[in-house]
Amino acid sequence: MGLFFKDDLVQFAPRAISISGHEYCLKKAEAGELARLLLLEKEVYAGRRPWDGEVFAEELRRRDSLYLLLLEGDFLVGAIGCRFSLSKAHITFLAVMPKEQGQGIGSYLVQTVLDLAKSADLKAVTLEVRVENKKAQELYRQLGFEDNFVRKNYYDNDDRPDSDGLNMICHLRKKN
């Protein structure tokens, strides 16, 4: 176990999975797959890039983070990123290719992180989502997340006026 997180959480063996009748491979992202993550981000955010290549590269190097890629053949369908500490996990990134949305892929990726956190006996998983992104909030609520608090101007890297982030939390163990 590391000082601030559980080392075994960032280990992840590739696995074959099926979602809505499609076969995929879920695997840990490696530094050499940075271009794939940037392309996914560009597609999902309609050309905007909330994170640049340096941010992704740093995330992939961090010892306390895990990024998972969902591939259909060689095609990147979706990805999720998270950081782990001794008591919780924080989802830092979730994206599903627009043509693949609505098929349960995002739910599967989030549930995978929840399962990893539960297996490590963590207390909670948190994430941020834009206040106006009601579709994503509904998905997270269906998976057990609750509204926690609002971070004013959380998304300050673009020109959109709706830059507040809603922090959501999923408690994995009963509060004492």
Can you give the pLDDT at residue 159? 57
Residue 2 within any structural domain of the chain: no
Q: Is residue 163 part of a domain?
A: yes
In which domain, by residue range, is 121 found?
7-171
In a domain, 176, yes or no: no
| Confidence at residue 170, expressed as pLDDT on a 0 to 100 scale | 98
Which residue is it, tokens 């989502």? 129
3-class state of residue 152 by DSSP: coil
> How are strands ordered across the β-sheet holding 65-72?
15-19, 22-28, 65-72, 75-84, 88-96, 124-130, 165-171, 146-151
Report percent pLDDT > 70 for the chain.
85
Q: What is the CATH number of the domain that holds 24?
A: 3.40.630.30
Residue at 22 is within a domain: yes
**Which of 89, 94, 127, 90 is CA-nearest to residue 108?**
94
* Helix, strand, coil percent content, the chain, rounded in steps of 5: 30, 35, 35
Query: Would you say residue 100 lies in a domain?
Result: yes
Residue 135 Cα distances to 27, 51, 132, angstroms: 26, 22, 9
80 found inside a domain: yes
What total number of domains does the chain contain?
A: 1
pLDDT band for 158, please (50, 70, 90 cuts).
low
pTM score, whole prediction: 0.87
63 against 113, higher pLDDT = 113
In a domain, 90, yes or no: yes
The string of pLDDT tens digits covering residues 23-78 is 999 999 988 888 899 889 889 877 565 667 788 889 888 889 999 999 999 999 99
Q: Residue 122 domain-assigned?
A: yes
